[in-house]
Amino acid sequence: MKKIANISLLFLLTAAFPVNTHAQERFTAETMWKLGRVSDVQLSPDGSAILYGITRYDLASNKGNRDIYTLSRNAESPRQLTDFKGSEINAIWRPDGKKIGFLSAESGSMQVWEMGINGEDKVQISNIEGGINGFAYAPDMRSIVYIADVKLEKDVHDLYPDLPLANALVYDELMYRHWDNWHDYAYSHIFIAGYTDGKLSQGKDIMPGEPWDSPLMPNGGMEQIAFSPDGKQIAYTCKKLKGKDYAISTNSDIYLYDLASGKTENLSESNPGYDQDPVFSPDGSKIVWRSMATPGFEADKDRIMLCEINPKALDGLKKGIESKSSSSGRSTIMTSRVFTDLSEGFDQSSSNFTFSPDGKQLYFISGTEATYQVYRIDIATRKIIQLTRGDHDIQAFSLDGKDLIITKMRHDLPSEVFRVKPDGREEQLTFTNREILKNVKLATEQKRWITTTDGKKMLVWVILPPDFDPNKKYPALLYCQGGPQSAVSQFFSYRWNFQMMAANDYVIVAPNRRGLPTFGQEWNDQISGDYGGQNMLDYLTAIDSLASEPWVDENRLGAVGASYGGYSVYWLAGNHNKRFKAFIAHCGIFNFESMYLETEEMFFVNYDYKGAYYDNPRPKSYDFSPHNFVRNWDTPMLVVHGGYDFRIPYTQGMQAFNANQMLGIPSRFLFFPEESHFVLKPQNSVLWQREFFRWLDGFLK
């Protein structure tokens, strides 16, 4: 393997957690579950305060609770606004800034509540049967949009009322289960309700009888629904397909609903891929959303699609022109709307759109070189400027005059809120976990660019143990990322936590191998149909490069990963040529043939495998299935899987474990009956960490 081309050592212990010469504690799973998790940060309408939530977990009770906080400008500490028994979610400023709305199940089902800006006068303002899953105020405060489940299809008790104790599910079409839930014959629908005198009326279903969901299941939220500035229209995301068509397609669309007429228009009908997250311009003349052009490909570039809906704008563009092209963008006139891909020529995905107050500029988040930054595009000139820099992941932002209020994380920093000045200077505003981490000695980090077998440069994060001694030799772990298209960025994970691994005296090698975003679409797309190809060579290049360091013991190497990372471990097990001494595979794909007909979103396997195993000719990608290489397996392996994982069913893990057992290879099966593709319960997570290191320590130390 070639020598490393460039090495720059980054010590990421910043002012957020100043170095304490007396710190002796190592980062543990128990410490991790004490951390408060900051989310959903929003600036008040007048810019005087930020609103956010903090989720904290109690390990003994195995439960979490989320409360709402505000931090006023120049305040010394945040103010806790809620302390109900359950969690409060979906907290938002009322448009006039005089109230804060939120969802709480304090009265039984999840309902809309309001309170004063200091947490006073909490009042439940809705009483919707079955509860509410999300809501937003109309800008004119005359109405509220909310989402709620509507049962549209018959279950076994409707079909056979004389069998009240029967327990069965009956399906006639795909998709009957998704990620971690079986289809329950209900759909998420959008409702419009009048809002007067602090009360919410029963809403009107704007999708009556329609057997599809908005927002998109399973992870869509209120970001997929937007009010127009005048409160007269709603733009929403929906995938209006059923059965097999739904399972094989990514074709969601942006729909525009008129409150007065009740008419709905499909704005993105011509695009066959994902269209999501609409945002109106301040004057209502434009809508922007993220759009993928390739049908069936869930990791395509997220474009910035702009729709002109102002008739005056149309007049100027219709003068004998059906479409125009330039190096800076393309506009197309269709069905009395003008569509422009603002990001044409910008080789990055974009999300989290916010217009400037005058509507002339658009701010957004985009990934570059395994970090996530805020950018700005001038709509008239299409000029894009990167506004933030540094090794961090910015998760959300708000505009505060010329400043940015951002939420960001790093490998050594759970999410916190910062103010960013126009010159790039940062001021940390929240210190949620300072007291918990002040005596914890954190890892240091190297940022390396390594030359791959095909002459490309690959970014690899190298995380070093606390008290790292270059004169010692350490065991090293190759971290294999999931996705497959999900960047090894500056995330602070609550499962695959690099601080945790380093605290147990392992060197972590985390490559941004082929098939990951933030390095251009060609780098991202290469992996589809080539699972056992160049990206596996990238993995081996990374671990071989680090194994040559004098402080890495080349005889104590392990490989770990989940999802696509779990698949990677299974593949490496049959192709690593004695490099590794231990493996951990969590919810990985073991057998492509059985996986093809066991998973739920068929578009994923159709695109990434390039078709079904029974197609003629048979796609070459099936040659990369790990089960084809089991005859070469010879290394101890821990297999982990969850019972409610419907994306990669637990039978994949069973096959891998059984193969190890039949071959007489030391192996262990860690099964979580109530977990899904992820391990989310606190005590299960701590157990996961303990088993993780018990396994590795037994073979690498």
259-287 pLDDT, tens digit per residue, is 999 999 999 999 999 999 999 999 999 99
In this predicted structure, the answer to whether residue 324 has a pLDDT above a threshold of 90 is no
**Chain segment 70-91, per-residue pLDDT in tens:** 999 988 899 999 999 999 999 9
| E strand intervals along 183-227 | 186-196, 199-200, 204-205, 225-227
Q: How far is it, in rounded angstroms, from Cα 465 to Cα 467?
A: 6
pLDDT at 310: 64
> Distance between CA 257 and CA 267 in Å, rounded?
10
**356 belongs to the catalytic site:** no
- Distance separating alpha carbons of residues 315 and 69, to the nearest angstrom: 47
Question: Mean pLDDT over residues 612-633, rounded?
Answer: 98
Burial class (CB within 10 angstroms; exposed 0-12, middle 13-18, buried 19+) of 106:
middle
Side-chain half-sphere exposure of 221, counting CA atoms within 13 A? 9
Summarize pLDDT for 150-206 with one digit per residue, the tens. Answer: 999 999 999 999 999 999 999 999 999 999 999 999 999 999 999 998 889 999 999
Helix (H, G, I), strand (E, B) or coil at 67: strand
Give the pLDDT of residue 74: 86
Tokens 């039949």 identify what position? 662
Residue type, 369: E
pLDDT score of 329 more than 60: no
DSSP 3-state assignment of 550?
A: coil
> Residue holding tokens 């008129």?
258
Identity of the residue numbered 324: K
| pLDDT category of residue 331 using cuts at 50, 70 and 90 | low
Q: Where in the chain is the domain with CATH 2.120.10.30?
A: 25-125
The confidence band for 325, taking pLDDT boundaries of 50, 70 and 90, is: very low
* pTM as predicted: 0.93
CA-angle at 430, arms to 425 and 433, nearest 5°:
120
Q: Cis bond leading into 617, ω under 30°?
A: yes
Residue 13 pLDDT greater than 50, yes or no: no
Q: Is 323 a catalytic residue?
A: no
363 in Cβ contact with 399 (< 8 Å): yes
Average pLDDT of the segment spanning 498-524: 98
pLDDT, tens digit (0-9, with 9 covering 90-100), for 642-659: 999 999 999 999 999 999
- Reported as a single tens digit per residue, the pLDDT across 423-467 is 999 999 999 999 999 999 999 999 999 999 999 999 999 999 999
Q: Is the pLDDT of residue 486 over 50?
A: yes
User: pLDDT digits over 341-365, tens only?
Assistant: 999 999 999 999 999 999 999 999 9
pLDDT, tens only, 293-319: 999 999 999 999 999 986 454 444 444
| Alpha carbons 576 and 399: distance in angstroms, whole number | 49
Is 697 in the active site?
no
Torsion of CA 583, 587, 589, 591, to 10 degrees: 90
Tokens of 662: 């039949």
SS3 per-residue string spanning 620-659:
HHHHHCHHHHHHHCCCCEEEEEECCCCCCCCHHHHHHHHH
CATH 2.40.128.660 residue ranges of the chain are 347-438
For 640, phi then psi, to 5°, come to -125, 140
Share of residues in the chain with pLDDT > 90 (%): 91
CA 303 distance to own-chain centroid: 17
Task: List, for residues 571-608, the tens digit of each pLDDT value.
Answer: 999 999 999 999 999 999 999 999 999 999 999 999 99
Check if the beta carbon of residue 383 is closer than 8 Å to that of residue 391: no
Please report the pLDDT score of residue 316 as a whole number: 43
* Phi, psi torsion values for 143, nearest 5 degrees: -150, 165
Q: What is the dihedral of CA 383, 387, 393, 395, to 10 degrees?
A: -80
Judged on CB neighbours under 10 Å (0-12, 13-18, 19+), 533 is middle
Specify the CATH class of 441-700 in words.
alpha beta
The Cα 116–Cα 99 span in angstroms is 5
The answer on pLDDT for 698 being more than 90 is: yes
DSSP label at 396? E
User: What is the pLDDT, as a whole number, of residue 36?
Assistant: 98
Provide the edge-to-edge strand list for the sheet that holds 88-93.
88-93, 100-104, 111-115, 123-124
In which band, very low, low, confident or very high, does the pLDDT at 19 lie, cut at 50, 70 and 90?
very low
Given 189, 392, 641, 677, which residue is catalytic? 677
pLDDT in tens, 100-155: 999 999 999 999 999 999 999 999 999 999 999 999 999 999 999 999 999 999 99
Percent of the chain as helix, strand, coil, to the nearest 5: 15, 35, 50
Alpha-carbon distance of 572 to 578, in angstroms, equals 10
List the catalytic residue out of 87, 563, 625, 676.
563
**Which is the catalytic residue, given 275, 645, 667, 676?**
645
Query: By the 8 A CB rule, do 515 and 535 touch?
Result: yes
Cβ burial, residue 8 (10 Å; 0-12/13-18/19+): exposed
- Give me the count of residues in the chain: 701
> Which CATH fold topology does 347-438 show?
Lipocalin (2.40.128)
CATH number of 25-125: 2.120.10.30
Query: Which residues of the chain are in CATH 3.40.50.1820 domains?
Result: 441-700
Q: Name the band, by pLDDT with cuts 50, 70 and 90, for residue 336.
A: low
| DSSP sequence for 122-138 | -EE----TT--SEEEE-
164, two tokens: 């009240």
Which amino acid, one-letter code, is at 584? I
- Residue 524 is inside which H or E element, if any? helix 521-525
In whole angstroms, give the CA distance from residue 79 to residue 70. Answer: 5
Q: If you average pLDDT over residues 503-512, what whole number do you get?
A: 98
